Chains A and B, each alone.
Chain A
Amino acid sequence: MTVHASPIESPSTAADEESSRLGVIGERNRSLETHQREAVPAVMTDRLGKRYGTFDALIDLSLEIQRGEVFGLLGPNGAGKTTLIRTLLGFLQRTSGRAEVMGIDPASDSVGVRRCVSYLPGDARLPRHLRGRAVLKFFADIRPDGDYEAALAVAERLELDLQRHVGFMSTGMRQKLAIATVISSKSPILILDEPTANLDPTVRSQVLALVSEAQRAGRTVIFSSHVLTEIEEVCDRVVLLKRGRLARQQTLADLRARHRIFATRRQPQPAPTIPDRLRDSISRLTTDGPSVIIETVGDLAPTLGWLASLELDQIRAETFGLRAVYDSVHFDEASPS
C-alpha cells in the first residue's frame, strides 16, 4: 500500500523549517546574551554615591569584582562598607553613579540581583519563633537556588542544634545558623558582612574553609571584616574604604610577596646605599640610629646577599601584612606603593 503525503503537510513542513531557523537564531542570540553576561564582572560600580541628607556615606566609588574572586572589604566603622553592600542589593537607593551585579542594575531590578546573591548581614537576625531546622527549610524554600540538604550539611559541620528555637539560641549559634542558610544556596555571589563575629576560633576556621570551598566551586565572595588576618587568609584582593571613598586596592598575592626587614647595625656607620641592581626589589630603606628597616618587593633571595654585607645583627623579616596597609590608610601614613 502506498501512502501519499497529505498536501497539508507541505506548508506545515515549511513553517517548521522557518520556525526551526528562527529557533536557531533565537538560540544563537540567547547564547550571545549568555556569553555577554558571562563576560561582565560579578560586581561593577562607577562613581557610585550615596548621601543621607548632608552626610556622604559613599563618594565616587568605582570598583570591579571579577567572577570567582574572594574580594575583601576593609575599613573602619562608618567607612561605607555596609552602605556599599546594601546599595548593591537594592536596599538603599543610590544618589549618584552606576552599579551592576552580574550585569543587573539593582536600582531597576533588585530582585534579579538578589537572585544572584546570597547575603549574610552583619547583624543577621532570624525569626525567633522558628526552630533551627525550620529556619533552614524556610530559606531553602524561599530561594529558587536554595538547597535544604546542603544547609543541613553545613549546620552539622558547624555543630548546630537544629531542634532549638532561635529565641533560645546563643548569639554565636544564631550566627552559625545564619551562615548555614546563606552559604548553602547555589547563588553565584556570596556577600558576607562580618561572618565570623561572635564565633569561637574553631568555628571561625570552619567558616573560612567554607569560603574557600565556595571559591573553588566558582562562586564570587565579597567578604567584609575587621579581622585583618581573616582577610589575608581567604581574599584574593581587598579594597580599603575610608569615609565613603575608595582609599586603596590591594592584591593579596602582591602583599604576600612584600617583606619588611628589621635589623640593628653592629657599629655606627653611614646609612647604607641601595645597589642599582636591587633598586626594583627594595622599595624603602629607613634608618633611625642603629635600627634599620628595609621594605622589599618580590623575591627576597637577591636581597639576602646584600643584607649579609651590611654587618647587621638581630635580623628579623616578616611579610608585609595587611595591618601595615590598613594603618597606612587609616593614619594617612606614607604607604607602600
Chain B
Amino acid sequence: MIDRVLVRTYVVQSSLLWLACALTLFAFAWVRVWVSSLIDMGQFRTILEQFRDFERFAPIGFDALFTHTGRVGMTFDEPIVIFCTAIWAIARGSDVVSGELGRGTLEMLLAQPISRTRLILSHAFVSTMGLLLLVLALWAGIAVGIARTEITETVPPPSVRIPFTAIELPLTVAGPTKTTFPMSSVVDPLDFATGIYSLFAFGLFLLGLATLLSSMDRYRWRTIGGVLAIYVIQLVIFGLGKSTERLNWLRGWSFFNWYRPQQQIAETASGGWAAPWRLTGPDADSWFGPGVYPLLLLAGGVLFYWLAIWVFRRRDLPAPL
C-alpha cells in the first residue's frame, strides 16, 4: 500500500520542518514545566481566583488546575504547542497534491508506475509518523521537565478556625516555612498519555483536512488559505459557543470542542487510568464520555484521507503551471 522509495523521499523532504517542530515542542514543554514550578501554588490560586468570571473560557474548571498535574497539563492548550502541531499538519497535508502540482513535479512522479492511492498513502504514512514523533517529543519534554524540576512550596503555620467565623488563629508564632521536593514525587509523566493521544488526534484531523483540500486543488497557497480559513472560522464558532449560555449550542459545530486534553488529564488524575477512555458519560445527562472526543478527531482525519483518495483518483491531472 505504501512505496518505500516515496517514503524515503518524503522523509528527506520533511526532515527539516520536523526537526524544527520537534525541538521547539521538546524545549518548550521542558521550559513550560519548569516555569510552572516557579509560581507558588498559593499565588497561582490567588491569581486564578481573580478570573473566576472567565472560568467558562478555560478548557477545564479552575479547581482542576490547582494541582501540579493540572498546571503541567495546561501545556497542551498553549498556542506554541497548537501552532507547531498545526504547522506540521497543514504544511505536510497541503503538499501532497497541490504542492507537487505547483512545483510541477507531480507529472514526473505519476509518470512512474505508482497509483494515486499509493502516493497519498505513502505521504500519509510519513506525515502521520512525523506527527506521532512530534507529540512524543512533547511528551519527552514534559517527562524530562518533571524529572529535572524541583518545587518549592510555602507551608503556612498550623492554625485553627474559630467555629461559625472565618477567623483563623495561628497555633505558633513561627512564620510560614518553605519545603522543596522533586516534581516527580507529585506528578507522573504517564498521566499525560491521554493528552498526547488527544494532541495526535487533533493533528491527524488537521492533516486529513489539509490533504483533502490539497487533493482538490492545484495551488498550495490556496490550499493553505482554505485550511486556515476553516481553522479560524471553527475557532471563532468555538469561542462564541463558550462566551454565553445562549450560544452554547455552537460549540457542537466546532472541531475544537473535540480537543479536550486537559479534561482527559484531569480525568486520569481523579478517576484513574481507565477514566479518560470511557466512551459513555458518567450520568444520564452526558452521552459521551471523554474517550469519544479524540476518537471523533481520529475518525474525522481518516474520513478526510479517504475522501482525498477518492477525489484524487477521479480528477484530471492538470498540466504543470
B113 and A128 within 8 A (CB): no
Which residues on A sit within 8 Å (CB–CB) of B317?
86, 91-92
Q: Digit string of B106-123 for contact with A (CB within 8 Å is 1, else 0)?
A: 011011111100000000
Stretch of B4-12, B132-140, B157-165 with 4 or more beta carbons under 8 angstroms from chain A: B4-12
> CA–CA, A142 to B2, complex, Å?
12
Confirm or deny: B68 has a beta carbon within 8 angstroms of a beta carbon on chain A.
no
> CA–CA, A121 to B320, complex, Å?
9
A139 and B319 within 8 A (CB): no
Confirm or deny: B316 has a beta carbon within 8 angstroms of a beta carbon on chain A.
yes
Contact of B316 among A92, A117, A124, A144 (CB under 8 A): A92
Contact of A114 among B9, B113, B316 (CB under 8 A): B113
B113 and A143 within 8 A (CB): yes
Contacts A129-B13, A143-B112; A86 near B105 (Cβ below 8 A): no
Confirm or deny: A287 has a beta carbon within 8 angstroms of a beta carbon on chain B.
no
A87 to chain B, nearest CB (A): 9
Confirm or deny: A127 has a beta carbon within 8 angstroms of a beta carbon on chain B.
yes
Confirm or deny: B104 has a beta carbon within 8 angstroms of a beta carbon on chain A.
yes
Confirm or deny: A330 has a beta carbon within 8 angstroms of a beta carbon on chain B.
no
Which residues on A sit within 8 Å (CB–CB) of B12?
129-130
A139 and B112 within 8 A (CB): yes
A144 and B108 within 8 A (CB): no
Confirm or deny: B3 has a beta carbon within 8 angstroms of a beta carbon on chain A.
yes
Confirm or deny: A291 has a beta carbon within 8 angstroms of a beta carbon on chain B.
no
Closest A residue to B117 by beta carbon equals A111
Confirm or deny: A178 has a beta carbon within 8 angstroms of a beta carbon on chain B.
yes
Number of A-B contacts (CB under 8 A): 67
Taking residues whose C-beta sits less than 8 angstroms from the other chain, chain B's interface range is 20 to 34
A125 and B104 within 8 A (CB): yes
Confirm or deny: B71 has a beta carbon within 8 angstroms of a beta carbon on chain A.
no
The residue in B9, B13, B113, B316 that gathers the most chain A C-beta atoms within 10 A of its C-beta is B113
Contacts A93-B316, A127-B105; A141 near B111 (Cβ below 8 A): no
Contacts A125-B103, A125-B108; A141 near B320 (Cβ below 8 A): no
Which residues on B sit within 8 Å (CB–CB) of A125?
103-105, 107-108, 320
Contact of A126 among B3, B105, B113, B316 (CB under 8 A): B105
Taking residues whose C-beta sits less than 8 angstroms from the other chain, chain A's interface range is 20 to 34
> CA–CA, A130 to B112, complex, Å?
18
Contacts A92-B317, A141-B5, A142-B5; A123 near B104 (Cβ below 8 A): yes
Closest B residue to A122 by beta carbon equals B319
A123 and B320 within 8 A (CB): yes
> CA–CA, A123 to B314, complex, Å?
23
Which residues on B sit within 8 Å (CB–CB) of A89?
111
A121 and B103 within 8 A (CB): no
> CA–CA, A119 to B316, complex, Å?
17
Which residues on B sit within 8 Å (CB–CB) of A118?
111
B113 and A86 within 8 A (CB): no
> CA–CA, A168 to B314, complex, Å?
35
A91 and B316 within 8 A (CB): yes
B107 to chain A, nearest CB (A): 5
Confirm or deny: A306 has a beta carbon within 8 angstroms of a beta carbon on chain B.
no
Confirm or deny: A249 has a beta carbon within 8 angstroms of a beta carbon on chain B.
no
A127 and B114 within 8 A (CB): no
A121 and B111 within 8 A (CB): yes
Which residues on A sit within 8 Å (CB–CB) of B9?
127, 138
B200 to chain A, nearest CB (A): 27
Q: Digit string of A100-116 for contact with B (CB within 8 Å is 1, else 0)?
A: 00000000001110110
> CA–CA, A126 to B114, complex, Å?
16
Which residues on B sit within 8 Å (CB–CB) of A91?
107, 110, 316-317
Contacts A82-B319, A129-B12, A129-B13; A114 near B105 (Cβ below 8 A): no
B108 and A178 within 8 A (CB): yes
B138 to chain A, nearest CB (A): 27
Which residues on A sit within 8 Å (CB–CB) of B5?
138, 141-142
B216 to chain A, nearest CB (A): 16
> CA–CA, A144 to B3, complex, Å?
12
B217 to chain A, nearest CB (A): 17
A-B contact pairs, 12 of them (CB 8 A): A82-B319, A91-B110, A92-B317, A111-B115, A114-B113, A121-B111, A123-B104, A124-B108, A125-B104, A125-B105, A143-B113, A144-B113
Q: Enumerate chain A interface residues (CB-CB to B < 8 A).
A: 82, 86, 89, 91-93, 110-112, 114-115, 117-119, 121, 123-130, 138-139, 141-144, 178, 181
Other CB < 8 Å A-B pairs besides A115-B113, A138-B5, A142-B3, 15 of them? A82-B319, A91-B110, A91-B316, A92-B316, A93-B314, A111-B114, A112-B113, A119-B111, A123-B320, A124-B107, A125-B105, A126-B108, A127-B103, A130-B12, A178-B108
Q: Enumerate chain B interface residues (CB-CB to A < 8 A).
A: 3, 5-6, 9, 12-13, 103-105, 107-108, 110-115, 314, 316-317, 319-320
